[in-house]
Amino acid sequence: MDKSYERLLEAYAVTKKYLKQQIDLGFDRLYLSKDKEKEEEENFSDSVEGDLQKFYQRIKDCKKCPLHVTRTNFVFGEGSGKSRILFVGEAPGREEDIQGKPFVGQAGKLLDKILKAIDFSREEVYIANVLKCRPPGNRDPQPDEIKACEPYLLKQIEILKPEIICALGRISAQALMKTKSPLGQLRGRFHDYHGIKLIVTYHPAALLRYPQYKKGCWEDVQMLRREYDKVFK
- Which residues contribute to the site for ligand SF4 (CB under 6 A)? 62-65, 67-68, 74, 131-133, 145, 148-149
Q: Which amino acid is located at 11 in the chain?
A: A
Nearest residue to 160 (alpha-carbon basis) of 76, 99, 61: 76
Rounded to whole angstroms, how far apart are CA atoms 115 and 117?
Answer: 5
CB 170 within 8 Å of CB 91 = no
Q: What residues have CB less than 8 Å from 61, skipping those under 6 apart?
A: 74
CB nearer to ligand SF4: pick between 25 and 118? 25
Residue 50 Cβ vs ligand SF4, minimum distance, rounded to whole Å:
21
CB nearer to ligand SF4: pick between 92 and 217? 92
Residue 143 Cβ vs ligand SF4, minimum distance, rounded to whole Å:
13
CB nearer to ligand SF4: pick between 68 and 209? 68
CB 130 within 8 Å of CB 171 = yes
Helix (H, G, I), strand (E, B) or coil at 193: strand
What are the DSSP calls for 209-221, one per residue?
A: H-GGGHHHHHHHH
Q: Which amino acid is located at 162 in the chain?
A: P
The strand order across the sheet containing 78-79 reads 78-79, 126-129, 85-89, 164-168, 196-201, 191-193
CB nearer to ligand SF4: pick between 92 and 115? 92
What do you get for the CA distance between the two ends of the chain, in Å? 61
CB nearer to ligand SF4: pick between 7 and 63? 63
Residue 140 Cβ vs ligand SF4, minimum distance, rounded to whole Å:
13
The phi and psi torsions of 200 (rounded to 5 degrees) equal: -120, 135
Q: Which amino acid is located at 166 in the chain?
A: C
Residue 103 Cβ vs ligand SF4, minimum distance, rounded to whole Å:
17
CB nearer to ligand SF4: pick between 74 and 120? 74
Residue 192 Cβ vs ligand SF4, minimum distance, rounded to whole Å:
26
Residue 152 Cβ vs ligand SF4, minimum distance, rounded to whole Å:
6
CB nearer to ligand SF4: pick between 21 and 181? 21
Residue 151 Cβ vs ligand SF4, minimum distance, rounded to whole Å:
9
